[in-house]
Amino acid sequence: MSSVREFPRSHRLSRAPGNGRRLRWAIAVVAAVALIGCAAPRGGDESADVTCNSAQQCRVEVRVDCSKQPCRIVVDHPNVFARGNDIVWTVVNNAGQSYAFSRDDGVAFKSAAGRAAFSCHREANQARFACMNHRTPGRFEYAIRLDGSPPVGPLDPWVVN
């Protein structure tokens, strides 16, 4: 007498042609979707992030993109790995644009720690904003605000020391 118990045929997995292929295809699709979700950049195109090895490298260009409505602020480096270096943001206007950094808060760090880590001021007739880095370790979110027409909402990128 055998100790292996046989299940009735109705409880066995179907071995109909194509069932295994469909199951493997479904698993592959689920795995691909999961991998794409894990690989998606956080906070922008990570390949465009900048790691600064000197103050000359810590430059961020700020533009207004109106190719889709509403217009929006975009930067060439969404995350700045400052490594203790000073940072300069410059507004680059397209033809017909006249955007400038907002008078008081063109680049404004959102937390008290961020405001303590950087001393910022406008330069070049509001076309440039410079922040002196006090070399405080951390990750700091900031907002970029521009004045101009049509109006644009703020952009909220990051600086990492």
pLDDT in tens, 122-161: 998 889 999 999 999 999 999 999 999 999 999 998 989 8
Of the listed ranges 24-38, 44-58, 66-80, 132-146, the one predicted with least confidence: 24-38
Query: Tokens 């979707």 belong to which residue?
Result: 33
Pairwise pLDDT comparison (80 vs 26), residue with the higher score:
80
- Measure CA 54 to chain center: 22
* pLDDT > 80? residue 33: no
pTM of the entire structure?
0.69
Percentage of the chain beyond pLDDT 90 is 61
